[in-house]
Amino acid sequence: MLEQTDVLIVGAGTAGLTAALNLADECNVAILCKSALGEGSSLYAQGGIAAVMDKGDSLEAHIEDTLIAGDGLCDKKAVRFTVENAKSCVEWLIDQGVHFTLDSEHENYYHLTMEGGHSYRRILHAADATGKEVQTTLTALVKSHPNIKVYEYYNVVDLILQQQRCVGAYALNLKSNKIETFGARAVVLASGGASRVYQYSTNPVVSSGDGIAIAYRAGCRVANLEFNQFHPTCLYHPKAGSFLLSEALRGEGAYLRLPNGKRFMPEIDERAELAPRDVVARAIDLQMKKYGLECVYLDITHKPEAFIKEHFPMIYESLLKYGLDLTKDQIPVVPAAHYTCGGVVVDDKARTDVVGLYAAGEVTYTGLHGANRMASNSLLECLVYAFAAANDIKQNLSKLMPMSDIPRWDDALVTDSDEEVFIRHNWREIRRCMWDFMGIVRSNKRLERAMHRIKLLRQEVFDYYSDFTVTADLLELRNLVLVAELMVESAMRRKESRGLHFTLDYKQKDPRFLKPTILHPAKN
């Protein structure tokens, strides 16, 4: 079948929903999401959204903090563009009905919290479940809009290109297991990051790098994929899966301790627990390796019980399910892959290298994050670039005429596979390989081993993909192995340690690498 729409949006997180709502009054929009509407990383964002809302704060301070966290690799123009548009985006969310936490001491003022890397309290939040508040609000608006059609449980296979522009996408209907064709005058990739390429991740299972892979295959440049942020404090518990403990806990005074109760961050960085995430994650990794530990401990028990329950109600209630009381217990934590700082290259209008193809959110490289993302700048980036994409599409939609001769998917020469064990085995091997050799600390030897194995796996996956009917697991495996290769290639090119990229062979920064690592399909 062929579904035609004005704008096709791939992904239904904050970026995708924001773009849809800003387009739908003027054109028809279709949203493809891999699971139920509203799922994805945005839903689980605990921290908040960074914006200058207090008179004592300033745009210049937010810009400077972001540049410092980015360790020399931020695009200053992108940083200023994002920070200057922050307040209007937050006000738009408030107008849509998002309820941020108010300051109990100052009526009609929002409570602003502090997080690592920020020099001022500028984080708007909805208790400790900001992502959930934003997602549920925007999801309800999308469901009620007459010009938005949502396709749940659809996984994009590849983009459709004609006359050097993007005119739609092929997508697997996960309920019927049939590939359907979607034609569009413009396409927006808002499919999130690639942290599931690692064995341990804070992200939901849908974060498999799909958008990065399909954009790269379509001819888009990707950049800075060596910079993968590891959240320092993921709950260490056999039944917890990927539950993270918000940066805001440390922002409000939580300490990191060894099993004997000793704090270790003050000896490593003058900012102690409020150092940027890469510093904290490496510090924890060092302590675990040095002392043979399975975890370290996060401790906020020195704060009043009422304060903890008021500021972190979701975390408090969630921990109780695992027999842990945030007000009384030190919480076992380990680092886990959390955020993909690089991605598909876009400009300040969210345009990629392919005409008619836009991207917003974690799938992108905008230049905002540089070598390390500062806390609570990610939801902000989603909003700012979703607005940018919507605005540019509305201005240019009349020039992007729909194509009537889009070819349908042809699977006549493939057969069903009876060897699903291949997919499960390779899925596990890629993620373990990336964790062991492309993790928090790297080396030339580790990266070489990773690349050797990933290239073999990619060829195996290519051969399998060519012979057998497409399935959801096969699509994700195909995308994961490509993104893994791109990440390792990027890391091998950066022969220095900077931000989130730390290698034992080049422990110092090198001014020759004060530029983004850009990979292009034609040159890679």
What are the phi and psi torsion angles at 277 (to 5°)? -60, -35
Give a three-class secondary structure readout of 389-442: HHHHHHHHHHHCCCCCCCCCCCCCCCECCCCCHHHHHHHHHHHHHHHHHCCCCE
- Sign of the CA dihedral with 521 first, then 377, 277, and 310 last: negative
List 468's β-bridge partners, or say none.
Answer: 415
Question: 133 in helix, strand or coil?
Answer: helix
- What is the helix, strand, coil percentage profile of the chain, to 5? 40, 20, 40
Q: Count Cβ atoms within 10 A of the Cβ of residue 399 and give its class: 0-12 exposed, 13-18 middle, 19 or more buried.
A: exposed
Residues 6+ apart with CB under 8 A from 313: 127, 128, 129
Q: At CA 111, angle to CA 15 and CA 142, rounded to 5?
A: 25
Question: 218 in helix, strand or coil?
Answer: coil
Residues 6+ apart with CB under 8 A from 363: 11, 15, 189, 190, 191, 192, 193, 211, 212, 215, 343, 344
Residue-by-residue DSSP string for 149-166: EEEESEEEEEEEEETTEE
Catalytic residues, which ones? 277
Query: For residue 313, how many C-alpha atoms fall within 13 Å in the half-sphere facing its CB?
Result: 7
Residues 6+ apart with CB under 8 A from 107: none
What is the spatial distance between Cα 280 and Cα 288, in angstroms, rounded to a whole number?
A: 12
CB 21 within 8 A of CB 13: no
What is the spatial distance between Cα 36 and Cα 193, in angstroms, rounded to a whole number?
A: 18
